[in-house]
Amino acid sequence: MAPVLERLVIDRLGHEGDGIAETATRRIFVAGALPGETVSAEVEGETGRLVEILTASAERVAPLPGHDPDCGCCPMQHLASGPYLAWKHGLVVEALRQRGIEGPVDPIVPIGLGTRRRAVFTALRGPAGTVVGYNRRGTHTVHSAAGCPVLVPAIARRLTALEALAGRILAASKRARMTVAATDGGLDVAIEDSGRKLTLADREALGRLGEDGAIARLTVDREEVFLARAPEIAIGGASLFPAAGGFLQAAAPAEAAMVEAVLALAGASKKPMADLFAGIGTFTLRLAGKSPVTAVEHDRALLAALDRSVRHARGLKKITALRRDLFRDPLTAKELEAFGTVVFDPPRAGAKAVAEALALSKVERVVAVSCNPATFARDARILIDGGYRLVRVQPVDQFLWSGHVELVAGFIR
């Protein structure tokens, strides 16, 4: 069935930032539309493609020059700052409300332009050349990241070089994942699913890239092609050593806000602390400044990075690393009794099994870090039903102009 041109009145914003129109028969999602606007859209099913804004919202602003509304990186540039932050804050409040929780949600911590130090791009080698960027919304077309305002300058100014690098590595017509992190030692570049084996000539040419000082490490399909300098990030008396292509908090200002909240909510305890889903030790190393910490992580590469950080750190309390799949084999309530504070920072799926074990434990304080308000609210409901009180929720806008929001929350038994 062909799309039908319809006149719609937008009622509210959805979780991904789409304008939502409620008609007599269905709900229609229109990307780029704002509440209160009357728009003309080509409608197919529940999706409307914005054709014309007939009545604009007073909260609409002009995006930055060169912004493509179909770019999948930051689709909310057209919403003014105040309403945008209120919308994101509301995502957390609404997720809690749906679970019957009325928690104290602090104002969201904003971040500025040029702060994203870790980006996951799509690299595509096509007939017209190689492009590195983001998938256009709802398509497999790659929109170049050139001019992207959220990237740190260290990445933004090297995009042409990254495209040339990907062009040398990728097979023809191949689409690959390229993770780039800006570290104190230079860019840490990891390409996955390149589609071909590197030749000796490839390796020699790529190795020369390590001589110009911009790229610290290049990894292709989990093989280290060169290591010019250690990709590390100084955090006071210690350093984080990111795993190639592995998780790293995307923006340094957001990480700083999250660390501040975690340390404040963790409190002081005579017992050791536990950091579950510890990753490379973003919170572990900071917590170890005041208490012994057991860091639990399943990914071997992340644990190896954490071990390196621990070996190079000075002046910290004892850190014990434990490899364990917390989804399949969470710490039991009895094992948790050893800790006065437990911090957990799971993937988007949340930490249901961990929350259930904590609900049966006597742990005094719990600090939850989350990138998904919905799964956080589910886990918070489990903790509250198990005898905990939610004392604070701190949202953080780590991914500017997107529908993603981070948060840190504290619970006391």
For the chain, domain boundaries:
4-60, 85-111+251-412, 118-232
Structural tokens at position 336: 């948790």
Residue 291, pLDDT score: 95
At residue 96, the 3 state secondary structure works out as helix
pLDDT, one tens digit per residue, over 308-343 is: 999 989 889 999 999 999 999 999 999 999 999 999
Residue 207, pLDDT score: 84
- What mean pLDDT, rounded, does the chain reach? 94
Superfamily of chain region 4-60: Nucleic acid-binding proteins (2.40.50.140)
Higher pLDDT, 136 or 202: 202
- 67: pLDDT strictly greater than 90: no
Choose among 321, 182, 312, 344: nearest CA to 249.
Answer: 182
CATH of 85-111+251-412, one of 3.40.50.150, 3.40.50.2000, 3.10.20.340, 3.20.20.100: 3.40.50.150
- 71: pLDDT strictly greater than 80: no
pLDDT, one tens digit per residue, over 24-39 is: 899 999 999 999 999 9
Maximum CA extent, the chain: 67
Options 73, 74, 148, 371, the catalytic residue: 371
Q: How confident is the model at residue 210 (pLDDT cuts 50, 70, 90)?
A: confident
- 182: pLDDT strictly greater than 90: yes
- 255: pLDDT strictly greater than 90: yes
For 118-232, CATH gives: 2.40.50.1070
Q: How confident is the model at residue 181 (pLDDT cuts 50, 70, 90)?
A: very high
Q: How confident is the model at residue 211 (pLDDT cuts 50, 70, 90)?
A: confident
Residue 239, pLDDT score: 94
Annotated binding site: 249, 277, 297, 345
Same fold flag, 4-60 and 118-232: yes
d(CA 222, CA 219) in angstroms, rounded, equals: 6
d(CA 79, CA 98) in angstroms, rounded, equals: 25
Choose among 88, 70, 69, 214: nearest CA to 154.
Answer: 214
Residue 237, pLDDT score: 82
Mean per-residue pLDDT, 77-101: 97
371 is catalytic: yes
- 137: pLDDT strictly greater than 80: no
Annotated binding site for S-adenosyl-L-methionine: 249, 277, 297, 345
- 66: pLDDT strictly greater than 80: no
- 107: pLDDT strictly greater than 80: yes
d(CA 211, CA 368) in angstroms, rounded, equals: 42
Residue 45, pLDDT score: 92
Q: How confident is the model at residue 74 (pLDDT cuts 50, 70, 90)?
A: confident
Residue 131, pLDDT score: 94
* Model pTM score: 0.94
Mean per-residue pLDDT, 85-97: 97
Q: What is the bridge-based pairing of β-strands 341-344 and 47-55?
A: unpaired
- 302: pLDDT strictly greater than 80: yes
Structural tokens at position 197: 């084996």
